[in-house]
Chain A
Amino acid sequence: MSVTHSDAPEAPTTAPPKAGTPATEVTDGPATGGAGVPHVVGRVDDVPPGEGRAFVAGGTQVAVFRLRDGSLHATQAACPHSGGPLADGQTDAGVLVCPLHLYAFRWSDGACTSGAPPVRLYPVAEQDGALVVTV
């Protein structure tokens, strides 16, 4: 079988050539650092177990994930590979998988296991049911 692209492949597929501009107003690549200011972005209950949701933390778009083991993680919202919506990705204890081309990023350090630039991680914590992301 020689499928060249797939709407839900098992492994990262080749990205589409960069025809046109990704319509998202975000550039590819890792996000730059911030000043380290904490922001309340929403409630923990806004993020269902195992899923991710996007928020704005002081003007920065972030994706917050609540894993099934209860741990919280936050990343830049747009995939460093080609601007995909990371909050729509799938997760496990080790990685976040972007929905567009299935590149995976490690929670531990943001590194991509399949050769794309790393994703930026932000500290996130729960305070009295609120989600606090530091950007």
Chain B
Amino acid sequence: MTAVLGGRPAGVSTLHFAMDDADGTDTRQRLVVVGNGMAGARVVEEVLERGGGEQFAITVFGEEPHGNYNRIMLSHVLAGEEHEDDIVLNSHDWYADQGVTLRAGVRVDRIDTHAKIVYAADGTTTAYDQLVLATGSRSFVPPMTGLYTAEEQLLPGVFGFRTIDDTRAMLAAAAEHERAVVVGGGLLGLEAARALQGHGLAVEVVHAGTHLMNQQLDPDGGAILKHSVEALGIVVHLATRTTEAIGPDRVRGIVLADGRAIDADMLVIAAGIRPVTEVALLSGLEVERGIVVDDQLRTDDPDVYAVGECAQHRGELYGLVAPVWEQARVLADLLTGVDPEAEYHGSRTATKLKVAGVDVATMGVNRPERDTDEFLVISEPRRGVHLSVVVRDDKLVGATLLGDTRKVAFLTQAFDRGTPLPAERIRLLVDLSDGAAEVGVAELPGDSQVCNCNGVTKQALVDTVKAGTTSVGGCMDATRAGKGCGSCKLLVKQVVEWAADGDVTEDASASWYVPGIPLAKPELIAAIRDQQLRSVSAVFAALAPGGEEDATSKMGLTSLLRLVWGAAYEQENDAKFINDRVHANIQRDGTFSVVPQMKGGVTTAAQLRTIADVAEKYEVPMIKVTGGQRIDLLGVRKEDLPGMWADLGMPSGYAYGKSMRTVKTCVGSDFCRFGLGDSTQLGIDLETRFQGIESPAKIKMAVVGCPRNCAEAYVKDVGVVAVGNGRWEVYVGGAAGASVRKGDLLATVDSPAAVMQLAGRFVQYYRENANWLERTYDFVPRVGLEQVRAVVLDGSAEVLAALDAGLQRSIDAYTDPWGQDGAQPATPGQFRTALPLVDLPTVPVR
């Protein structure tokens, strides 16, 4: 895909002619910015914020065709955690709306600083009064034989990691290849390595230093990080270089300095960055490692400035975004005359590794430098934790947090602002819980930066609150605070709460059950009962503002109506998500998956034979044993679903619904020499009883025959563990998906029947009280285990009877949807193909 990021739909760039530019009556000064990256665009934003739109006709040149995007989020895009559309900061439309001329996709070649003219690669010339260079950096490519083709291009399969185009190219390659080598074990290299690994590639990192992230970490920290990275399955080679890329047509592998060769079909170069200084050099400006600037960010030409990674200030080059924000502010103050004395004195830098599962945050120095420096280290290599702080003259001058970054918000503030430190230094690193609040947000000065990624100050948040946005989410949307690496979210919340004087509004709709109906779940249920609303359209008509339907609310309402009315709910197919309309899970190409019920993971030879026959008959592209102990037939055409169900003759396994899914079991006392209870039978019984019950989110259960926990009961919504003497422990609120949480022990009971009853009461309590899409792992901690116990264990006879009855109503309403709709479609064309109408999908067959 070559779409322009943040572009206009047709991909054209906007050419905006400033006021009366054409006839030359625009009296504004001409401000030209070279480079449309994070620094260039930020300068424009800051200038506009200071009313600079009146003073300047602004033109921005950007070599990349895209709008301005958040470069630091490329790691998330590569990891597949963010969509590229979501990292756009300023789209082409934004420039047009601001009256700024964006020359996207146009490289500047040189500047004539005497005539004050910019020469661009497209042959145009542009006059300026003030010029800002913000050309950033590019990936440094270390020397290596065989790296380039005869045409001086990087060998196919070799990538830098700097731009969205690099990222897109890597994503495309990752889909086709299996082995990647990443050169460089710094922040960027590790983020790239982890992201590629997430796409299923085997990844090896080659790092020239003697330990990983050697710019930020000391050798001990680096060693611990290496363990954590290796634990993820990434191979790390230290203290060696890549000397050769093996070709010739595309990269096939690399050779290390010690002669070892590694096979690879992708080679990612993340060995550092180099400032882009060609324009400055060709224009005769002073360039050392970067473009030399003074404290007013001026180059040796008084009307030319440089900011961002291309600038060298007091001998320093920066490779992070926080200094960019500071520089942009100073420059905007100067250009607009808001503060003609403004000066930039350098930045102290802090970084965070954006790799899921490996927490690293560092700031300032990583070891004592003077005899009087205080140095505190907590190192727990086995847990992968390494924490240290360096304190000088009662001020924090450095901190390293590895494996545990809970204190990062506090330390960042102490580091940035020099806020007072606790006398007991250990409190800097661990919470000695005496309940004392650690740092008052009240004391933070207004201009202290809360979100470094997006450069949001405390004052900006306070102003947003004062202007009427009093919800945390609203403030985050309005300021972009917390939307970069995310490490500041806690602090953002604290600031907003403080600024709103405790009067924080829950995000207006946060308490609603679904976005389209302004009611919380209990009130909504009451209204549905009182007004006898039995269909989703009836609910909209009666309860939505203006009676208006809302597409995104329909699925949640359908689920709720079934909870309230059981079989007496009036079904409307358009109110269901496609999965629930065709009782199968939609896949990326519009085909579906079919997972027959296989209670407790137990099957028979006959069932397996039928599945095999059906798979052949319908040319199922992939048959897979699932993580839920059953068999998935993937890539099934919609129109084949009814026929397939009929041939299978098995009930639906509900692998698609917000409903009870599976009960995993282990072999238990029947076969296992350690089994303390018949876990298999109990699992089958649970699955039979709860099959297909709809709920706010999926419910998954497991039963194990002993605490060895072979079927992972500790991490299920409901997990049951046989502990001997006929006794069973019941855990709730466990998770091992996107979140990992060990369930809480609800109770230990003494018979399978008691397990069934207790599990039922818990499930019903959850169904009645959880928010839409709230899994038990969020629900149980939210309401508190004590509250759950108070109801499902110690509730009054009426409460318990109501829970039992509510559940029974749904159990009685159960019908197998495959049997039902397979025989008689619910609506015309229920199983008609939706896409493609001509060619059938081809899911890759392994």
Contact = CB atoms under 8 A, between A and B. Distances in A.
Interface in A59-85: 61, 63, 68, 77-78, 82-85
B199 A87 contact: no
Interface in A13-64: 14-20, 22-26, 28-30, 45-56, 61, 63
A86 B578 CA distance: 11
B574 A93 contact: no
A46 B828 contact: yes
Interface string B76-105: 011011110110100000000000000000
B835 A24 contact: yes
A121 B86 CA distance: 25
B66 interface: no
Nearest to A56: B837
Contacts, number: 181
Contacts of A77: 834-837
Given A63-B834, A77-B837, A97 B551 contact: yes
Interface stretch (B204-212, B786-794, B838-846): B838-846
Interface core residue of B83, B572, B573, B585 (most chain A CB under 10 Å)? B83
B766 to A, nearest CB: 15
A2 B739 contact: yes
Interface stretch (B46-54, B168-176, B747-755): B168-176
A69 B70 CA distance: 42
Nearest to A114: B85
Contact of B832 (A18, A49, A54): A54
A116 B85 contact: yes
Contacts of B772: 10
A114 B84 CA distance: 12
A17 B80 contact: yes
A80 to B, nearest CB: 9
Nearest to B515: A10
A126 interface: no
B551 A92 contact: yes
A127 interface: no
B550 interface: yes
Nearest to B586: A99
B828 A45 contact: yes
Contacts of B577: 8, 90, 99
Given A51-B573, A90-B554, A97-B552, A25 B199 contact: no
A2 B738 contact: yes
Interface residues on B, range: 35 or more
A4 interface: yes
B612 to A, nearest CB: 24
A55 B174 CA distance: 35
A114 to B, nearest CB: 8
Contacts of B843: 23
Contacts of A50: 572-575
B836 A78 contact: yes
A127 to B, nearest CB: 19
A19 B552 CA distance: 27
A92 B550 contact: yes
A109 to B, nearest CB: 11
Interface core residue of A7, A94, A104, A116 (most chain B CB under 10 Å)? A7
B82 A14 contact: yes
Contacts of A56: 837-838
Contact of B773 (A10, A78, A102): A10
Contacts of B585: 7
A25 B831 CA distance: 20
Contacts of B556: 10
B321 to A, nearest CB: 21
Contacts of A6: 773
B3 interface: yes
A21 B83 CA distance: 17
Given A18-B171, A91-B574, A68 B834 contact: no
B829 interface: yes
B301 to A, nearest CB: 40
A85 B835 CA distance: 5
Given A14-B83, A48-B828, A50-B572, A25 B550 contact: no
B588 A100 contact: yes
B589 interface: yes
Interface in B717-763: 737-739
Nearest to A61: B837
A16 B587 CA distance: 11
A102 B844 CA distance: 24
A37 B597 CA distance: 48
A85 B834 contact: yes
Given A10-B773, A48-B574, A68-B537, A4 B834 contact: no
Contacts of A102: 552
B80 A14 contact: yes
A2 B778 CA distance: 10
B656 A7 contact: yes
Given A84-B835, A97-B552, 10 more contacts: A7-B579, A15-B83, A18-B172, A24-B590, A85-B590, A87-B834, A88-B581, A88-B835, A97-B551, A99-B586
Interface of A: 1-4, 6-12, 14-20, 22-26, 28-30, 45-56, 61, 63, 68, 77-78, 82-97, 99-102, 104, 114-118
27 contacts: A3-B737, A4-B81, A7-B579, A14-B81, A14-B82, A18-B168, A23-B588, A23-B591, A24-B836, A45-B828, A46-B828, A50-B573, A51-B573, A54-B833, A56-B837, A68-B537, A77-B834, A83-B590, A85-B586, A86-B834, A89-B551, A90-B551, A90-B554, A100-B588, A102-B552, A104-B552, A114-B85
